[in-house]
Structure 1
Amino acid sequence: MNCLRVGTGPTLVLVHGFLSGLTYWEKQFELFSTRFDVVAFDLPGYGGKAHEVGLDSVEGFADFVLAKLDALGIDCFHLIGHSMGGMIAQEVAIKAADRVAGLVLYATGPMGALPGRFEPIKESIRRAETEGTAQVASDTVKTWFSDGDEDPDYFEGMELANRVSTQTYINGLKAMDGWSSVDRLSQIKAKTLVLWPDSDRSYMWEQEETLWRNIGDTNLAVIPQAAHNAHLEKSPIFNLLVLDFLTSEKVKARRLAITG
């Protein structure tokens, strides 16, 4: 199953990140579907589509998302993007500015080279090319949880990461490394929430502050004592923040302005 659609209400699209898949949202589906028409799908090369070779550009992933939504007949939507998925979500919100009502940019940033990451992207690419992905993927996924490989969700995260081919792994890193939205953030029209776990080792505060200060209509929320996958390790807090934002009067007004 490469696409899940559940619930009723305004459409909410969930875009997963690097080495992940739609099942990464399992702690959000039940609650979010009580308020929204929730849509999630595996990106090419990941999850149930790991047999495909992943794309090597954020723009290409954004085009994939928009084509998928067009095929589903979805015009106006809310959008959440996590990590690399947050980069894709920014690109979607720029390409289709008049279709995105509420935007949640979670544990992500506008600088694809990921300054301050636990290890430079080019070093991860070098390791993947010379050693394969087993160890470098494990080193990466460990940083996504406060308790590393002792977190109960680590093993499912590794199961998804281990599906990803070496070429998809390299392509994903190259897609991020060659991308930036810093000079285009003002083109995002959606009401936006920047959501940052304060112990994230992939996206430092510089990234979040740049989003917060350069997108026109933006709020900021910080989840304390949480790492990159806060939606898993602190799901009640994450879910409450997202629902509170997406059901706010300003986001409702933005959606009504789009839909007429």
Structure 2
Amino acid sequence: MDGLPYLRAGSGPSFVLVHGYLGGAEQWRHELDHFSNRYDVIAPNLPGFGAAADRPACDTIAGMAEAVFGLLDELAVGDFILLGHSMGGMVVQEMARMRPQSVLRLILYGTGPLGLMPDRFEPIATSRERLLTDGVEATIGRIGATWFKRGAEARGYRLVTQIGACARRPAAEAGLGAMAAWDGRSALTSLTMPTLVVWGDADRSYRWPQVETLWTNLPDVRLSVIPGASHAAHLEKPALFHSLIEDFLSEPATAENAEDR
């Protein structure tokens, strides 16, 4: 069984999009369409999720990071812009820590530096108990509703529940355990690449203290807050989401970062 399944479109600098818990590459269709006229956009499916549901699950965030690196190495992608959402934001922080020389720019979207997620809509232990009792499909239906201001009535809700239902229970359980065991706070000051933190102001998974920790500890950071959006802001307000990323990517590299490359 070769590498991770992925979606890819466009040409130019490589732009890698990493999904979160119970996500998949299909959630990035709008981003592939939007950015593919300027970038080589690559969206992997993490092991056990989405189109990679048949792959063995990873039980650590570092293992997920290595799996994405494995795909990029197969594709001979040497350096890249890196975006991670939610659990994927933890994965890309690990990737940036492991190979900082490969990450041209970093985008941390709807995520934080601590996997236990203080003040999350429910503790991870509760999510695990409900997963074991209710199963994956019911879990994504329940959790996915918290990702939108309008809950299950939101435009993107059906998409995230379809993608999430593809995951197998061992992967869903392993993902919760991987997040609970991960703490990236000590590495933040070493992530010196230009970084954008994007956060919906109604996000019920990652509250402001998590975002503030990123904002105040990353050395070269910008913060963009999307008003009236929750955890899936790229589906709730795609035009604004895209414009914030475009603005960040259009900034010239500083002399210091240019020398580092």
Aligned to 1:96: 99
How far off its partner does 1:49 sit? 1.1
Is 2:181 the counterpart of 1:171? no
Aligned to 1:77: 80
Distance 1:188 1:158, change over 3 A: same
CA–CA distance in 2 between the matches of 1:252 and 1:101? 13
How far off its partner does 1:155 sit? 1.0
Aligned amino acid, residue 207 of structure 1 = Q
Q: Secondary structure at the match of 2:162?
A: helix
Report how many aligned residue pairs link the two structures. 258
Aligned to 1:235: 238
Distance 1:205 1:76, change over 3 A: same
Q: Secondary structure at the match of 1:240?
A: helix
Aligned to 1:162: 165
Aligned to 1:48: 51
Distance 1:205 1:48, change over 3 A: same
Contact 1:19-1:161 within 8 A present in 2 as well: yes
Of 144, 153, 158, which residue of structure 1 is paired with 2:156?
Answer: 153
CA–CA distance in 2 between the matches of 1:155 and 1:217? 36
CA–CA distance in 1 between the matches of 2:184 and 2:17? 20
Of 165, 180, 185, which residue of structure 2 is paired with 1:182?
Answer: 185
Once the two structures are superposed, residues 190-229 of structure 1 have per-residue CA deviations (whole angstroms, 9 ceiling, x without a partner) of 1100111000010000110101111110010000000100
Is 2:131 the counterpart of 1:128? yes
Aligned amino acid, residue 207 of structure 2 = M
Distance 1:216 1:132, change over 3 A: same
How far off its partner does 1:253 sit? 7.7
Once the two structures are superposed, residues 84-104 of structure 1 have per-residue CA deviations (whole angstroms, 9 ceiling, x without a partner) of 000001000000011101100
Of 22, 27, 48, which residue of structure 2 is paired with 1:24?
Answer: 27
Aligned to 1:33: 36
Distance 1:252 1:124, change over 3 A: farther
CA–CA distance in 2 between the matches of 1:11 and 1:212? 25
Aligned to 1:61: 64
Please report the TM-score for the alignment, with normalisation by the length of structure 2.
0.95
Once the two structures are superposed, residues 45-70 of structure 1 have per-residue CA deviations (whole angstroms, 9 ceiling, x without a partner) of 11111123321110000011111111
Contact 2:155-2:235 within 8 A present in 1 as well: no
Contact 2:8-2:32 within 8 A present in 1 as well: no
CA–CA distance in 1 between the matches of 2:48 and 2:91? 15
Is 2:108 the counterpart of 1:105? yes
Aligned to 2:146: 143
CA–CA distance in 2 between the matches of 1:64 and 1:232? 26
CA–CA distance in 1 between the matches of 2:27 and 2:53? 15
Unaligned 5+ runs, structure 2: none
How far off its partner does 1:137 sit? 2.2
How far off its partner does 1:165 sit? 1.4
